[in-house]
Amino acid sequence: MPQIIDNVSLRDHHTFATEAAARYAATILGVEDLLTLRASQVWQDNPLLILGSGSNTLFQNDFPGLILFNRIQGIEIVKESSEHIWLKVGAGENWHELVQYCISHEYAGIENLSLIPGTVGAAPIQNIGAYGVELESVFEELTAFELKSGKSIRFDHSDCNFGYRFSIFKGECINQFCITDVTLRLNKHPTFHLDYGQIQDVLNEMGVITPSIRSISEAVIKIRQSKLPDPIQLPNAGSFFKNPVISKEHFEKLLTSFPNIKYYPEKNNMKKIPAAWLIEQCGWRGKRSGRVGVHEKQALVIINYDHGSGSEICNLAKAIQADVKQKFDIELFPEVCIL
């Protein structure tokens, strides 16, 4: 039986490193642990939360129930064809280590997602993405343990309702499941995605003439390390807000006042506006507010500089949201899960 521990500090369990405590916590290594814990009174009487590496979570308050630290391990080849290989991966495996494992075995498809912190089980929750690739492009299926019924249920691609930093697990199924494994369909013959951000420039700087999944991963790592703060040195949770998507009419109206506005075309004539640009235009880049502040190199990242609290981070986020709303009439929504 996994041990249930009382009053656990969450400071080292999420990358914002704010002081907060869980009333109870336990570590799960497999579905059997979930089944055993489910029979306990603590499980029955309390709210439940699954936590991976806490790299997309902010604790504003103590958590009044049972937190389950997902540490389910394992990588297994479940199918192979001349074109693809299917890997079933334990939800508690580290995402970046999985990317490196795939690169060392020449399995292509997730090299652009190098160095994203977190666990494999959390990757489908917000359909992680970077440098023109999203998890859904290699996603085959997952198994999720329904907390209420104790049943393990299979979700295929269409069941997950993936969108931009979204899946059913952030929507109608929020907090109802513990994802226990994820199956990815990787490519034996890579298709490179080099046209996003600075990947091609960095490959040129590296002297790479013929790209490989390894050199692309190295280029992505270089770019990320040059721009994004390491949460161990500067506690943060990556992009705090999602990039907002606005209508063509709204965009055209903004264009008259802000001719340099940055955007990416979306479906149905909608435009995705980089939230970092909006925040920067409001003068927030590099600005501190007490013990917390906005990163000087990337305005989308909020930093907990000096043991700030979850509330201080949320207050800063609200001030940024208010300024962006006032200046652009655009609402910013957090990407981070705030508890």
Ligand X SMILES: Cc1cc2nc3c(=O)[nH]c(=O)nc-3n(C[C@H](O)[C@H](O)[C@H](O)COP(=O)(O)OP(=O)(O)OC[C@H]3O[C@@H](n4cnc5c(N)ncnc54)[C@H](O)[C@@H]3O)c2cc1C
| Binding of ligand X by 90 (CB under 6 A) | no
The site map against ligand X for 63-82 (x = CB under 6 A) is -------x------------
Residues 199-258 touching ligand X, rule: CB under 6 A, are 228, 231, 236-238
Closest to ligand X by CB, 174 or 322: 174
Among 18, 119, 281, 304, binds ligand X (CB under 6 A): 119
Q: 221: burial class by Cβ within 10 Å (0-12, 13-18, 19+)?
A: middle
The site map against ligand X for 162-191 (x = CB under 6 A) is ---------------xxx------------
Q: 60: burial class by Cβ within 10 Å (0-12, 13-18, 19+)?
A: middle
Closest to ligand X by CB, 312 or 328: 312
| β-bridge mates for residue 51, sequence order | 69
Neighbours of 240 (CB within 10 A): 26
Nearest to 68 by CA among 118, 31, 120: 31
| Catalytic residue (choose from 71, 93, 165, 185) | 165
Distance of CA 50 to the CA centre of its chain: 14
Distance between start and end Cα atoms, the chain: 28
Closest to ligand X by CB, 110 or 130: 130
Among 18, 53, 137, 309, binds ligand X (CB under 6 A): 53
Among 17, 130, 160, 316, binds ligand X (CB under 6 A): 130
| Residue 205 annotated as catalytic | no
CA distance 51 to 74: 18
CA distance 299 to 285: 5
| Catalytic residue (choose from 55, 239, 309, 312) | 239
| Residue 167 annotated as catalytic | no
Q: 52: burial class by Cβ within 10 Å (0-12, 13-18, 19+)?
A: buried
CB of 337 to ligand X, least distance (A): 4
Q: Name the 3-class secondary structure at 145.
A: strand
CA distance 219 to 199: 6
User: What is the contact surface with ligand X in residues (CB under 6 A)?
Assistant: 15, 49-57, 70, 91, 116-119, 121-123, 125-126, 128-130, 177-179, 228, 231, 236-238, 337
Which residues are tagged catalytic?
165, 239, 335
